[in-house]
Amino acid sequence: MSRLYVGSEIGKLNRVILHRPQLGLARLTPSNCDELLFDDVLRIGKAGEEHDKFHNTLVEHDVEVFLLNDLLAETLADPEAKKWVLDQQCSELRFGATMAREVRSYMEEFDNRELSKRLTGGVAIVDIDPELLKTTPKSLKGHMLQENSFVIEPLPNHLFTRDTSCWVYGGVSVNPMAKPARRRETVHLKAIYQFHPMFKNGDFEYWYGKEDKNYEGATIEGGDVEVIGRGKVLIGISERTTPQGIEALARSLFANGAANEVVAVDLGQSRAAMHLDTVLTMLDHDAFTYYPAVVNDDSRHFSLTPGDDGDVIVHERQSFFKTLAHLAGVERVRMVPTGGGDIFAAEREQWNDANNVLTIRPGVVIGYERNHYTIDRMQKEGIKVIAIPGDELGRGRGGARCMSCPIDRDDI
Ligand SMILES: NC(=O)NCCC[C@H](N)C(=O)O
């Protein structure tokens, strides 16, 4: 059984989960893309090519890649897993009893590969039979469907595998997502981790999100969670990750002795800086890239440490850069800011995920080639940047770090 363990942000990256988006992107239109958290419609073929380039770059650098649709299809081969996934995705609460039956029997006809594709890419009313549901006298929802309605909503943000689940040391958090457009993604990751042969008997813990319950406001998204190493974890308080979510994850990590300190940093609430990794990412033992307009030495931040009886002790700290040095276990940190032209260049490059690079070993990162000012600055600090195209993929507002979920990474 291969190791399931993520010991750091920058140690040698061994295995990741990616999602190559196709059908999900084909469903994006100008009228639904806002709701689906994309800023535009994409050129699907081009986005696929860019993703292949990212995938191949990882393989060339000795990283083993697993694709979400393959893992999900293999998971669905287990009848218990298939039943569980369909119970979740075709529930009566979602459709009403009659329509739930119709949708379920439609989905059950697919082979596992096609079912995986449809669960992630969505099913539109026109894919089934528009007449069938409209004329079902017992389904009120059926009567209300329009020609462009979805029966199973597409999940184009599965592209950002970092967010839906995140591995922290010897376990995983299957994340309760903040935005309705992403909540169903978690069902697929839960199914994979519970039933897929690679994970089913794996030696790992569940830190958070495993129970089938409403987590209300206690949301976490993996883009906010950075595993610094040496038992330290840095988490953004953001548009997506709440203080109560962080506290719950910290308690669970501490209860198991998996972490000894969690630092939570306030990022405010904005779409541009929706996750910590859109404004701050670790590049090397002592180097981070950051977007100073959102996160800087004055950022409000708190240290959570284990207290008595399972409680956490919270204390506010001063000087965020000193805290980063403390977390990284170094004397001082080198901070590489976004951009390098003027303030406009910095804002443009942050928007295009200049800070959202994927470190594959200390001092070596993968990032979008378009962010040349930030790349230049990183190179001047001795960081090796492997540039990939991302003009289409970037319209979903995520870069290489967001598009990868490490499941095996070395300690530092
Ligand atoms: N970690 C990240 O920053 N992930 C990017 C997520 C982008 C996606 N369109 C979203 O809004 O959730």
pLDDT in tens, 260-279: 999 999 999 988 889 999 99
Does 412 contact ligand 1 (Cβ within 6 A)? no
Does ipTM surpass 0.95 in this model? yes
Cβ pair 99, 133 in contact under 8 A:
yes
Angle of the 343-351 helix axis to the 372-380 helix axis, nearest 10: 100
Query: pLDDT digits over 190-201, tens only?
Result: 999 999 999 999
Give residue 272 CA to ligand 1 midpoint distance, Å: 10
**Which residues lie closer than 8 Å to 340 by C-beta, 6 or more apart?**
346, 373, 374, 376, 377
Cross-strand bridge partners of residue 148: none
Extract the tokens encoding 99. Answer: 């329509």
CA 317, CA 326: separation in Å to the nearest integer? 11
Task: Provide the pLDDT for residue 394.
Answer: 92
CATH class of 5-70+156-409: alpha beta
Of residues 234, 237, 249, the one with CA closest to residue 173: 249
Tell me whether residue 402 is one of the annotated catalytic residues: yes
Contact 145, 131 (CB under 8 A): no
Cβ 54 under 6 angstroms from ligand 1: no
Between CA 177 and CA 105 the distance in angstroms is 28
Q: Residue 134: what pLDDT?
A: 66
CB atoms under 10 Å from CB of 386, counted, come to 18
**Is any atom of ligand 1 closer than 6 Å to the C-beta of 237?**
no
1 CA → ligand 1 middle, Å: 31
Closest ligand 1 atom to Cα of 221: 1
Is 324 within 8 Å of 333 (Cβ atoms)? yes
Task: Determine the atom of ligand 1 nearest the C-alpha atom of 402.
Answer: 1
Q: Tell which residue, 75, 88, 74, 152, has the closest CA to residue 120.
A: 152
Q: What does the pLDDT look like over 342-389, one tens digit per residue?
A: 889 999 999 999 999 999 999 999 999 999 999 999 999 999 999 999
287-to-4, 237, 365 alpha-carbon distances in Å: 26, 21, 12
The reply to whether ligand 1 has any atom less than 6 angstroms from the CB of 278 is yes
Q: Which of 350, 402, 403, 405 to mutate to test the pocket of ligand 1 (most atoms within 8 A of CB)?
A: 402
160 Cα to the center of ligand 1, angstroms:
6
Tokens matching residue 265: 């940093």
- Ligand 1 centre distance from Cα of residue 403 (Å): 9
pLDDT digits (tens, 9 = 90+) for 110-123: 999 999 999 999 99
Q: In terms of Cα–Cα distance, which of 390, 378, 388 is closest to 340? A: 378
Question: What integer is the mean pLDDT of 19-48?
Answer: 92
With contact defined as beta carbons under 8 Å apart, do 389 and 53 qualify?
A: yes
Provide the angle, in degrees to the nearest 10, between the axes of the packed helices 68-76 and 112-121: 130
**Residue range 206-247, pLDDT digits in tens:** 999 999 999 999 999 999 999 999 999 999 999 999 999 999
Q: Whose CA is nearest to atom 11 of ligand 1?
A: 37
Measured distance between the N- and C-terminal CA atoms of the chain, rounded to whole angstroms: 23
pLDDT at 133: 67
User: Which of 25, 40, 274 gets mutated to test ligand 1 (max ligand atoms within 8 A of its CB)?
Assistant: 274
Give the whole-angstrom CA distance, residue 280 versus residue 330: 18
- Predicted TM-score (pTM) of this structure: 0.97
Which residue is it, tokens 């800070």?
Answer: 355
Q: What pLDDT does 307 receive?
A: 95
Q: Is the pLDDT of residue 137 over 80?
A: no
How far apart CA 404 and CA 335 sit, in angstroms, is 23
Cβ(181)–Cβ(153) below 8 Å: yes
The DSSP 8-state label assigned to residue 172 in this structure reads E
Cβ-contact 369, 375 below 8 angstroms: yes
How far apart CA 152 and CA 125 sit, in angstroms, is 9
Of 152, 202, 148, 205, residue with least CA distance to 174: 205
- Residue 398 CA: nearest ligand 1 atom is 5
Closest CA to 156 of 403, 401, 396, 398: 396
Q: What single letter denotes the amino acid at residue 306?
A: P
Reported as a single tens digit per residue, the pLDDT across 300-351 is 999 999 998 889 999 999 999 999 999 999 999 999 999 987 889 999 999 9
Q: Say how many Å lie between the CA of residue 116 and the centre of ligand 1.
A: 22
Q: Which helix (H) or strand (E) holds 180?
A: helix 180-183
What CATH class does 71-152 carry?
Answer: mainly alpha
| Residue nearest (by alpha carbon) to ligand 1 atom 1 | 223
237 close to 265: Cβ distance less than 8 angstroms: yes
CB 28 within 8 A of CB 41: yes
Q: In the beta sheet, which residues pair with residue 266?
A: 237
Domains of the chain, by residue range, sit at 5-70+156-409, 71-152
Query: Could you tell me if the CB of 394 is within 6 A of ligand 1?
Result: no
Residue 156 has pLDDT above 90, yes or no: yes
Quick check: helix, strand or coil at residue 42?
coil
Cα separation values, 297 from 25, 56, 319, 325, Å: 39, 37, 5, 12
Cα(196) to centroid of ligand 1, in Å?
Answer: 26
Asked if residue 277 has its Cβ within 6 Å of ligand 1, the reply is yes
Amino acid at 39: D
Catalytic residue among 33, 90, 166, 402: 402
